Chain A
Amino acid sequence: GENVEQHPSTLSVQEGDSAVIKCTYSDSASNYFPWYKQELGKRPQLIIDIRSNVGEKKDQRIAVTLNKTAKHFSLHITETQPEDSAVYFCAASHARQLTFGSGTQLTVLP
């Protein structure tokens, strides 16, 4: 089955700096890659997603890049704000089932 690895597990940045989280996946048939933000005790919130036929997608301060050849994808958050502090999960979808990465605790220091 699919295996998704996510790094780093924790990330601290100064407010205003950029944050980058990276994921790799194992199944070359995976074709949908969403990113979720989860606050403590809450549901995962979809923040951005990308299909396998696209290399990059941007939505305001958030961008995702996908390298299908290398089987890795990354989340980029620019101009970070304290409210960006949360756990971020990447996921890969094969046969429309999601396999999640292990999560990254992002802390934005004021």
Chain B
Amino acid sequence: GAVVSQHPSWVICKSGTSVKIECRSLDFQATTMFWYRQFPKQSLMLMATSNEGSKATYEQGVEKDKFLINHASLTLSTLTVTSAHPEDSSFYICSARRDQSSYEQYFGPGTRLTVT
């Protein structure tokens, strides 16, 4: 158990357009989901923490109006990159945690975003 999926696995979009990435927990309910960004040959950087039914908490330096996060159900969180620019090109990875008392995070396979 504890499978997390992401869709799409890769996407190419033009500068100025918006892109939505979905993160789903397939066999468990996730009270909390996390969104990370990973640039080539770099570490995972936490962008935001999303709790079901409430507003996401963004890390310092992450623009909440640019990276819209919605966690409308216990199995789905979405990240929308608005007005994408080439510098937003990155590997976006989500993770999910079962409940508030859990430590382990289950990672999705990631979404490769390329903005041209």
Chain A residues proximal to chain B, CB less than 8 Å: 32, 34, 41-46, 49, 51, 89, 93, 96-103
| Contacting residues, chain B, for A43 (C-beta < 8 A) | 93, 107-110
Q: For residue A51, give the distance in angstroms from its CB to the closest CB of chain B.
A: 8
**B93–A96 CB distance below 8 A:** no
- Residue from A41, A42, A44, A49 within 8 A of B44 (CB atoms): A44
A-B contact count (CB 8 A): 45
**B110–A34 CB distance below 8 A:** no
**A46–B46 CB distance below 8 A:** no
**A32–B103 CB distance below 8 A:** yes
**B46–A97 CB distance below 8 A:** yes
**B104–A41 CB distance below 8 A:** no
| Contacting residues, chain B, for A46 (C-beta < 8 A) | 104
Known: A43-B93, A89-B43, A103-B43. A98 touches B110 (CB 8 A): no
Known: A34-B104, A46-B104, A49-B104. A102 touches B110 (CB 8 A): no
B15 at the binding interface (Cβ < 8 Å) = no
Q: For residue B19, give the distance in angstroms from its CB to the closest CB of chain A.
A: 18
